[in-house]
Amino acid sequence: MHTSSEVPAPAATGPARVGRGDRSSAGRARGMFAALSVRNFRRYVSGQALSLIGTWVETVAQALLVLRLTHSGVILGLVTAARFAPVLLLSPYAGLLVDRFPKRRVLLVTQAGLGLVSLVLGILVLSGHAGLGQVVAAALVFGTFSAADNPARQAFVAEVVGRDLIRNAVTLNSTAVNVALEPGGIRELHWHQTAEWAIMTEGKCRVTTLSREGLPSVEDVFAGDLWFFPTGLPHSLQGLGPDGAEFVIAFDDGAQSESNTLLLTDWFAHTPPEVLAKNFRVAQETFDDIPLHNLWIFPGDEPGDLEADQVAAGVEWGGTEPVIFRMSQSKPVHENSGGSIRIADSTNFPAAKTVAAALVTVKPGGMRELHWHPNADEWQYYMKGSARMTVFNTGPHANTTDFRAGDVGLVRRNCGHYVENTGDDDLVFIETFRSDHYEEVSLAN
């Protein structure tokens, strides 16, 4: 694995062979964004983005409306349950029903229904006629439509892109998480059903964890540092001054979502106060003012001295497996005038048993040489600069794509590729792999 300071001429590519129909031509385009070559899939993704934005805006607005009408967290919880209970109870039967009808027709009905529910509730609010009963009814109807909409959407992707591109389409339909915390801002204590890998891109963050042996750790991380939280490891994050923290999270399972994240406040809200009092051996009144819904991210005072926090938490040095890796400070495995490459996997970061990573820096005029990875797909996040990547695949086909800071790339296992720095500044990007170790075959060795 090397970087080169010489830039070859751009690869010449001939016109793509086009078969009959939109799907067959896309089926041959095996690049990183091959599924987006299907016109209907592009329309679907665009529509989904607008639909999801509308759904979450409506969710927040409904919660605020309930609080304004009742000033009760308990009633808000009941209305939220009314919204999601149909999804829980009806989804298995809705899935069977969806299989009996054209998915596109089902989605037209469900999406129209969801939009109509929001429209009617909005009219009631604006006219001053919205009461708790109408909100509960809207929540139930919304949940009922959602129970059919969810399985229909998942099945519709396969119909749009076809069998050859389904894997690529599902990958494009997944999302990594970019999180920003203001100074003092807290991501509450939580844990996941999947492992969490992250790289700090800006600022500073205080990371608190609790090991499976019940031992705490408290550390500060900076730009270029990694963390890896195994499945079920509880952790909280807090932004530090003066600029807070920004980081990119990737999970080792594409099915990860907010629905399989477990939150401490959510658990407390679903636990009787007398049980909490018995567990923590304090008076029951201690829990009179706990939040009745999860907090996710909330403002807080900026933490004090790191050592003081470590002493207060009872940190025992060497008692827990390190979950932080100072990647930007690690020694490059390859370095020359064209740039450098640093590796973090289970060989030097033992906690990272399911995600391996490479931090690549390419100097202006340099390139990441021709290579491929035989053991896993490569997920990329471009942190600085601008790049041009060409991916070679079976067919044969070569697809070239430009990237800028904040963009995401994907290269399938065994597909040859190279990355050129097309700007005047250093190009920095991270490569991640769902594997415990890093592998590559290079044509520059």
Same fold, 3-21+330-442 and 177-317: yes
Higher-confidence residue: 444 or 185?
185
- Is the per-residue pLDDT at 19 higher than 60? no
Least-confidence region, from 156-160, 408-412, 414-418: 156-160
Structure tokens that stand for 84 in this block:
């999601």
Contact 1, 440 (CB under 8 A): yes
**pLDDT given at position 85:** 87
- Is the per-residue pLDDT at 298 higher than 70? yes
Rg of the chain, C-alpha, whole Å = 25
CATH of range 3-21+330-442; options 2.60.120.10, 3.40.140.10, 3.30.1860.10, 3.40.50.620: 2.60.120.10
Higher-confidence residue: 225 or 265?
225
**pLDDT given at position 171:** 54
pTM score over 0.85:
no
Total residues found in the chain within this entry = 445
* Residue ranges of domains in the chain: 3-21+330-442, 31-172, 177-317
* Burial label, 289 (beta-carbon count in 10 A; 0-12, 13-18, 19+): exposed
Distance in angstroms (rounded) separating the CA atoms of residues 154 and 142 = 18
* Burial label, 313 (beta-carbon count in 10 A; 0-12, 13-18, 19+): middle
Structure tokens that stand for 334 in this block:
């390859």
Secondary structure tally for the chain: helices H, strands E: 9, 22
Least-confidence region, from 11-20, 136-145, 387-396: 11-20
Give the H or E element holding residue 148: helix 132-161
Average pLDDT of the residues in 239-259: 85
Domain 177-317: CATH superfamily is Jelly Rolls (2.60.120.10)
Catalytic sites, residue numbers: 431
3-state SS assignment for residue 181: strand
Q: Among residues 131, 26, 126, 140, which one has the least CA distance to residue 87?
A: 140
pLDDT band, residue 366 (cuts 50/70/90): very high
Contact 16, 8 (CB under 8 A): no
Write down the residue that tokens 């001429």 correspond to: 9
Q: Average pLDDT over the chain, rounded to whole?
A: 84
**pLDDT given at position 48:** 75
**pLDDT given at position 10:** 30
**pLDDT given at position 426:** 97
How many degrees, rounded to 5, is the angle at CA 234 between CA 232 and CA 237?
Answer: 135
Distance in angstroms (rounded) separating the CA atoms of residues 3 and 344 = 18
| Span 98-153, pLDDT tens digits | 777 887 888 889 889 988 998 999 999 999 888 999 999 998 999 898 888 877 87
- Is the per-residue pLDDT at 363 higher than 90? yes
